[in-house]
Amino acid sequence: MNHSTSRRTFLAGAAAAAGTLLAAPESIFAEEGSFPKTVGDGIPLVDYHAHLDQVVTLEKVLQISKERGVKFGIVEHAGTKENQYPNLISDDKGMKRYMAMLEGKPVYKGIQAEWLDWPMCFSKEVVAQLDFVLSDALTFLEKDGRRVRLWMRNEVKIEDKQDFMDRYTDFNVQVIAREPIDILANPTFLPAVLMPEYDALWTAERMKKIIAAAVKHTVAIEINSNYRLPRPAFLKLVQEMDAKFSFGSNIHGLDVGKLDYCIEMVKALSLKRSDIFTPAPRGKKPIETRKIA
């Protein structure tokens, strides 16, 4: 995969196609002047899914953070070198260098873990120094062993929608169960060809299977402001089944940190601060407490 076809490039295009998000109305904030700003029941506005690039540099993201009152969780792709990203972290040395860059800055330090085998690249001691780890199921294992990037239209060939959905649901569960992660990112994302049937394909049974795994393994479900996913039906089940939520803009560009959809869902579901993810303290990180398959 080269940079022009990376997930990061795709997401930047998706955000541009959707248009610039409207700023959240100031009336929703419970504590004016606080940092980060809070919404509803004192829920802090933390964007745990922010990437740095040539435009959104660390200095720029700190400026945006102050202007919008949003605290950022910075993530970089991490895993084996088979996952071809420009700034991929693939060993302890690279991880330490990345964390040193963020040290002392008012941000959370995280990674976007790539594929199921990423823990083999790092020592537990080094990963435990991160504030959080998120991962997703967007790189999907097909029946023939190929890794298919579900955001790439030319790689997705679906002959049987129901069979795909069953396997995709199981793969989401596998990501949650096998990877020592804090957050499932981009949840319920579907290839473009399936999006018109989103509500029909994401049956209650499939949704509950993923959420039950998240509850069992204490993994938060991201409310993604870029894709405006998951849709309310899934989020209501997350709430009913007592899983945690996290916020993520996953917007690659100057609109990073705009959490409009997240705020909409806080209001729609009357979420409480206790419903929202916060990073675990040292000694209780998933990398320290979970058995790695």
Stretch 255-282: mean pLDDT? 98
pLDDT of residue 84: 85
Q: What are the Cα distances from residue 147, in Å, to 11, 158, 206?
A: 19, 14, 22
Mean pLDDT of the chain: 91
Q: How many domains does the chain have?
A: 1
Q: 212 in a domain, yes or no?
A: yes
Q: 99 in a domain, yes or no?
A: yes
Q: 23 in a domain, yes or no?
A: no
Q: 271 in a domain, yes or no?
A: yes
- Dihedrals φ, ψ of 102, to 5°? -95, -10
Q: 254 in a domain, yes or no?
A: yes
Q: 145 in a domain, yes or no?
A: yes
pLDDT for 3-35, tens place per residue?
Answer: 445 665 555 555 544 443 344 433 344 445 679
Stretch 32-61: mean pLDDT? 93
Question: Structure tokens of 176?
Answer: 């949650």
Burial class of residue 26 (count of CB atoms within 10 Å of its CB; 0-12, 13-18, 19+): exposed
CB distance 159 to 17 below 8 Å: no
pLDDT of residue 65: 98
| Residue 245 parent element (H or E) | strand 245-248
| Cis peptide bond N-terminal to 36, omega within 30 | yes
- Dihedrals φ, ψ of 289, to 5°? -110, -20
* pLDDT-based confidence at residue 166 (cuts at 50, 70, 90): very high
Q: Which domain holds residue 168?
A: 3-18+28-289
Measured distance CA(228)–CA(230) in Å, rounded: 6
CATH number, domain with residue 91: 3.20.20.140
